[in-house]
């Protein structure tokens, strides 16, 4: 079993997909290989198989449907103990993968929310109070993902925030970074 499964949705990531894959490939190159990178595709773009192959991602073709349905299908084909749903915005904290590995090793959280952009204390407090972060990367322990039944398959843009709401409601240990 992999320690971590990282998911990218081709439709949600859009035009930054090649840069995102290149950055992830560079980041994962020095790792021990216990991380799998999965690219969910419902676009049918003929360039994606070559792009996925070049950057070491496993392409998961999927029929058109809401994001929640696409990601549920991808999770079913993954093997990671931690599921990482990357934000579509390009910037991520530089040490995000280390934070995931550390939390996994020490069982410090059930869900880790990583901001897509650096934020000051006031926006961070507002994000914590509002409990929704559609632009953030979401790392979820597979055990909790399975426990709450995964994403609502009928939701598209609201799939990630709604999953986070249900995790909060079920008393999962959610850490914001």
In angstroms, the CA 112 to CA 38 distance is 19
- Residue length, the chain? 177
- Is the model's pLDDT at 89 over the cut of 80? no
Helical spans, DSSP H, in the chain? 10-13, 17-28, 48-54, 67-76, 96-106, 121-130, 142-147, 159-169
The confidence score (pLDDT) of residue 84 equals: 94
Mean pLDDT of the region 41-68? 93
In the DSSP assignment, the letter for residue 131 is T
Query: Which candidate, 15, 159, 153, places its Cα nearest to that of 85?
Result: 159
Question: Does the structure show a pLDDT above 80 at 160?
Answer: yes
| 87, pLDDT greater than 90 | no
% residues pLDDT > 90 (the chain): 54
* pLDDT for position 73: 95
Average pLDDT of span 46-70: 94
Judged against a pLDDT cut of 70, whether residue 94 lies above it is answered with no
- Amino acid 63: pLDDT: 85
Q: What is the three-class DSSP state of 41? A: strand
Across the chain, mean pLDDT equals 86
* Section 24-47 average pLDDT: 87
Query: Taking residues 160-177, what's their average pLDDT?
Result: 93
b/e per residue 30-63 (b: at least 16 CB within 10 A): eeeeebbbbbbbbbeeeebeebbeebebebbebe
Q: Is the model's pLDDT at 166 over the cut of 60?
A: yes
Lowest mean pLDDT among 63-72, 102-111, 154-163: 102-111
Per the model's pLDDT, the better-predicted residue between 58 and 135 turns out to be 58
Q: Which domains can be identified in the chain, with CATH numbers?
A: 4-176 (3.90.550.10)
Among 26-30, 47-51, 131-135, name the one with the lowest average pLDDT. Answer: 131-135
Could you tell me the sign of the dihedral formed by the alpha carbons of 18, 19, 21, 25, in that order?
A: positive
Q: Which residues pair with 84 in a beta bridge?
A: 6, 139
């Amino acid at each position: 079993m992999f320690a971590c499964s990282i998911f990218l949705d081709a439709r949600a990531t859009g035009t930054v997909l090649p840069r995102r894959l290149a950055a992830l490939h560079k980041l994962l190159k020095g790792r021990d290989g216990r991380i799998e990178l999965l690219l969910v595709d419902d676009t049918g773009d003929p360039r994606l198989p070559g792009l996925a192959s070049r950057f070491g991602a496993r392409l998961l073709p999927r029929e058109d449907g809401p994001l929640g349905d696409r990601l549920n299908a991808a999770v079913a084909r993954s093997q990671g103990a931690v599921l990482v749903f990357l934000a579509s915005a390009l910037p991520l904290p530089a040490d995000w993968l280390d934070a995931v590995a550390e939390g996994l090793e020490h069982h410090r959280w059930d869900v880790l929310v990583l901001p897509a952009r650096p934020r000051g204390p006031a926006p961070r407090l507002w994000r914590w109070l509002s409990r929704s972060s559609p632009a953030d990367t979401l790392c979820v322990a597979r055990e909790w993902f399975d426990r709450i039944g995964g994403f609502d398959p009928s939701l598209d843009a609201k799939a990630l925030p709604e999953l986070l709401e249900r995790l909060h409601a079920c008393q999962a240990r959610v850490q914001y970074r």
